Amino acid sequence: MTFDTIQTIPVSPALGVEIGGVDLSQSLGDDVIAEIRQAWLEYRVVFFRDQDITPQQHLAFARRFGDLVTYPMVKGLDDYPEIAPVIKLEHQTVNFGGIWHSDTTYLPQPPMGAILVARELPPKGGDTLFANMVMAYEALPEAMKERLSGLIAINSSAKGHVTKSREDCQKDMDDMPEPLSAEHPAVRTHPETELKSLYVNRGHTVGFKGMAEDESAPLLEELFEHQTGGEFTCRFQWRPGSIAFWDNRSAQHNPINDYHGHKRVMHRITLAGDVPV
């Protein structure tokens, strides 16, 4: 579609668009916000370049799209608890969330989306991959779509690799939450676009309700391999002033851990979602 108030440059055939012509440090009109939201729904993830915003402006922009929620596994900034710092220090070898995933699908109401601002970047590396789960679902054979219809996926916060990736971010938390789990449809319908998307992910999905592990494990592995195929993905190279805003209901992401010996600091705001159906 065409837009009147924003400039758009798609970054891949699968998903992702860079939005220009807006200054997120300023108060934006309703027409601009509406077009950003439409681009976000259409492309699953939108990117902004050369933005210089304060934490207050980050919060103000996020609130134009929905209610904010705190991230359950990371302590927010002291002055801005709704902003979660995502940090990897020079001596660390494991990065936060460094695996393909949809955010916090172990919650009864996973987030609608998240807005990530680059604060400090390594000299090279640290890109983020995104994948289009609508395309991934639509590309499945009809027999697989029928098999997945009605299946309920079990998601857990305690899946091994992701648990390890959170350890350094959790060291300053006074009270660690108990492992969380939630059940969601393996195929969900987007509440705004009404499109179906594949809603299992390597980071959190551990099985299917009512299915033995020896049956669910190979099915999950097949889906995990399928949904992150190159034809469904884009790669975003961060620069100072870069911002990414993804739709957690229809996209997955994977921050690449290729910058050992360097510091990377990102600020993340999470938007409240609904119960997947």
Residue 106, C-beta contacts closer than 8 angstroms, at least 6 positions apart: 155, 156, 157, 179, 180, 181, 182, 204
**Predicted local confidence at residue 167, as pLDDT:** 54
**Marked catalytic residue, from 44, 202, 264, 268:** 268
Average pLDDT of adjacent 10-residue blocks, the chain of 277 residues: 93 98 97 98 98 98 97 92 97 94 97 98 97 98 97 92 51 65 98 98 97 96 98 98 98 97 97 98
60-65 LR contacts (CB < 8 Å, sep 24+) = 60/27, 61/24, 61/28, 61/115, 62/115, 62/269, 62/271, 64/28, 64/33, 65/33, 65/37, 65/112, 65/113, 65/271
**Predicted local confidence at residue 165, as pLDDT:** 46
Confirm whether 101 is a catalytic residue: yes
**Predicted local confidence at residue 2, as pLDDT:** 84
**Marked catalytic residue, from 58, 101, 184, 264:** 101
**Predicted local confidence at residue 166, as pLDDT:** 46
**Marked catalytic residue, from 58, 184, 202, 253:** 253
Confirm whether 268 is a catalytic residue: yes
Hey, where are the domains in the chain? Answer: 7-271
Q: What is the pTM of this model?
A: 0.93
| Class (C level, CATH) for 7-271 | alpha beta
